[in-house]
Amino acid sequence: MNALPPLPGTLAPPVSDPRARDVVLDYAGMDALVADLVLPSDASMYVMSAMETSRELIRHSYYRYEFATVAVTHSLFALEHVLVERLAIDEPLQDLIERAADAGLVPAELAAELDRSRLLRDKLTQGTVTSAALGPLSAIAMVRAVFDAVSLLLRPASVAEAPAVDMSEAQPEDRLARLWEEHRRALYPDSFRGIDVEGVELTLLDADVAGLVQRELNGGLDDSGIAVLWACIADLDKVVTLINSEYCVFYFARLRTMAKLVSARYLPTAT
């Protein structure tokens, strides 16, 4: 009988991937990044397994950067499985996403994000991109879209097929509150403290937008607050395209998204 080779001595702890060092301070920081990727309790074991694996791949991309891209492609197993069951038809993923959007099962904006993940998978298959195509932060946004879509698709038909207007009215408020909670947990990019971009001091911009969002959630903005908000949006539009750090771009892009969600409440209605 062949004996197994002796076990090696104490294994060295894993080392963080230097490409992920700007995302969080340490591995524990990855918990906050994946905190809102909550598994749907009513999913099948297959779907739960695929989604949980996707979430954990993002978490472990702290040690291996490529895991982030793999997380996105793996999450599509769950999405495709749920779409086939929900629509009762077996077609290519692109067609399934389009059918779900046409049927009002997922919002058009979410469907577009899902198709971005599908395109990434196709490019990987064709060899036009590598598994290092995405960093953890970009992957989180794409996997979150799959989690959101699966949750919508698993709802009972009577709920999922309710008039779209009811969902669209509640969605911006829910999204603003969720993004605010996510932002409160996020670490400010240390390497950009005291830095200004094209005359915009990033730390002050962060504080201004955060204060405006908090005021909006606590009751609303007055005229002076709205004026400051528009100035902040102009600054955010300018700096986000000029920042050369993935984490910092993600941080300020989230600020911009929140600012624009707030501003949408103060746009004049069409007559």
Residues near 82 by beta carbon (within 8 Å), at least 6 away in sequence: 43, 47, 149, 150, 153, 154
Tens of pLDDT, residue by residue over 39-64, are 888 889 999 999 999 999 999 999 99
Q: Would the pLDDT of 166 be above 50?
A: no
Q: Which segment of 74-78, 196-200, 204-208, 241-245 scores lowest on mean pLDDT?
A: 241-245
pLDDT tens per residue across span 64-101? 999 999 999 999 999 999 999 998 888 999 999 999 98
Rounded Cα gap, residues 204 and 231, in angstroms: 13
Contacts (Cβ under 8 Å, ≥6 apart) of 128: none
Which structure tokens are listed for 108?
């058009």
**Phi, then psi, of 13 in degrees rounded to 5:** -65, 150
Give yes or no for residue 187 having a pLDDT over 90: no
State how far the Cα of 107 lies from the Cα of 63, in Å rounded to an integer.
Answer: 34
DSSP assignment of 172-183: HHHHHHHHHHHH
* Model-wide pTM > 0.85: no
Residue with tokens 């919508």: 152
- So what's the pLDDT on residue 186? 78
What was the pLDDT predicted at 77? 96
**Residue 200 β-bridge partners:** 197
DSSP H helices, the chain, are 30-33, 45-60, 67-87, 93-102, 108-126, 136-153, 157-160, 164-185, 202-217, 223-240, 246-263
